[in-house]
Amino acid sequence: MAFLEIKNFQKFFDKNTVLHDISFSIEKGEVLAIIGSSGSGKTTLLRCMNFLTLPDSGKMYVNGEKILDAETTGHLSEGELRESRLHFGLVFQQFNLFPQYTVLGNLLLAPNLYLKEVVAKLPKEERSRRLTEGTAELESKANALLTRVGLSNRAGAYPCELSGGQKQRVAIARALMMSPDILCFDEPTSALDPELTGEVLSVIRGLKSSDSTMVVVTHEMEFARNVADKVIFMANGIIEEMGTPEEIFNHPKSGLLKAFLSKALD
């Protein structure tokens, strides 16, 4: 049983078909890179996985559990939707840090609110103890993550005081705070100056481990080739070709992929 399985995703905007019957699966700990020219539906796919928009048809399973079924998801309550959504994390091209919070505040905002809700469901006498413990745990987790992305000395800075590369590293740490099963990246380096992409890519590479599963939409072919376990090439809303980096980059079959690669690599 695959860790993440997507079956027959379709998405229409008005009469445009943006996703045509997308199906794929990945195993736990794998890194999937999605490449393809702009407009091919990569962002839409990630947004569907993160419940920012719902596919018009299709199903999605995480660890065998069905967490999205286009037939029924429209009827889910906000609470149920949130639970499903928390299987995923998403790092945006434009960072989307919260400008009025410090770096540490950005990391702690959502998990602290979530903790409060969890604690509110406990018996009365346990609440304050669990809240104190939970808050302390979150803080040490935040500090550990900041160290991991190399920003432990900027915990008190506001986003406007950071470089693009630093912002994106904060965004990665923020997404990791919710311990998603699958972390998605939508062109995490496309909004960065070329000299800053390296620091972000090396953080992402450093996250690769047996229990972190990642889906990375990227234009960085070297990164896809070296870090991904599996590569999907999308064109016009379909998976035109899928395979290992070796297969995709060294032995491309589809004409579209060959054309895309010769453009991307020169």
Partner 1 sequence: MSFWEVTQELFRGFGVTLELFILTLVLALPLGLLFALGSRSRLRPLRFLVRGFVYIIRGTPLMLQLLVVTLGPGILFGTQHALTRWKCFNGNANLAYFCGALLAFVINYACYFSEIYRGGIDNIPKGQWEAGQVLGMKKSQIFFRIILLQVVKSILAPISNETVTLVKDTSLARTVSVVEVIYAADRITGHYALIWPLFYTGAFYLVFNFLVTWCFTTAEKRLSRFRLE
Ligand X SMILES: Nc1ncnc2c1ncn2[C@@H]1O[C@H](COP(=O)(O)OP(=O)(O)O)[C@@H](O)[C@H]1O
Using CB under 6 A, list all residues that contact ligand X: 13, 18, 36, 38-44
Distance CA 247, CA 241 (A): 10
From the list Mg ion, partner 1, ligand X, none, pick the one residue 159 interacts with, judged by a Cβ distance below 5 to 8 Å according to partner type. Answer: partner 1
Among residues 4 and 248, whose Cβ is nearest to partner 1? 4
Minimum CB distance to ligand X, residue 257 (Å): 15
Q: Which two three-digit tokens encode residue 63?
A: 């660890």
Q: What is the dihedral of CA 182, 7, 84, 230, to 10 degrees?
A: 0
Q: How far is the CB of 184 from ligand X (least distance, A)?
A: 12
- Of 19, 13, 14, whose CA–CA distance to 40 is shortest? 19
Which CB, 63 or 93, lies closer to Mg ion?
93
Nearer to partner 1, 52 or 136 (CB): 52
From the list Mg ion, ligand X, partner 1, none, partner contacted by residue 44 (C-beta under 5 to 8 A by kind): ligand X
59 or 167: CB nearest partner 1: 167
Q: Give the closest residue to 216 by CA, choosing from 108, 100, 120, 92.
A: 92
Which positions lie near partner 1, rule CB under 8 A? Answer: 50-52, 78, 82, 85-86, 88-90, 92, 94-100, 109-111, 113-114, 158-160, 174-175, 177-178
- Using CA atoms, how far apart are residues 32 and 113, in angstroms rounded to an integer? 31
CB of 192 to ligand X, least distance (A): 17
Choose the one of partner 1, ligand X, Mg ion, none that binds residue 59, judging by a C-beta under 5 to 8 angstroms depending on kind.
none
Question: Two tokens at 136?
Answer: 């302390």
What one-character DSSP code corresponds to residue 209?
B
Whole-angstrom Cα distance, residue 241 to residue 257?
8
CB of 241 to partner 1, least distance (A): 29
Please report, as residue ranges, which positions from 42 to 81 form the binding site for Mg ion (by CB under 5 A): 43
Instruction: Name the residue nearer to partner 1 (CB basis): 77 or 209.
Output: 77
Region near Mg ion per CB under 5 A, out of 35-43, 95-103, 121-129, 140-148? 35-43
DSSP 37: -
Query: Which string of DSSP letters, residue by residue, matches 220-244?
Result: -HHHHHHH-SEEEEEETTEEEEEE-
Taking the least distance from each CB to partner 1, the nearer of 9 and 233 is 9
- Which residue, chain included where needed, has tokens 């965004």? 171
What is residue 157's DSSP assignment? -
Q: Is the dihedral of CA 199, 202, 206, 207 positive or negative?
A: positive
Evaluate whether 178 touches 89 at the Cβ level (below 8 Å).
yes
92 binds, among partner 1, Mg ion, ligand X, none (CB under 5 to 8 A by kind): partner 1
Between 34 and 151, whose beta carbon lies closer to ligand X? Answer: 34
Residues making contact with Mg ion (CB under 5 A):
43
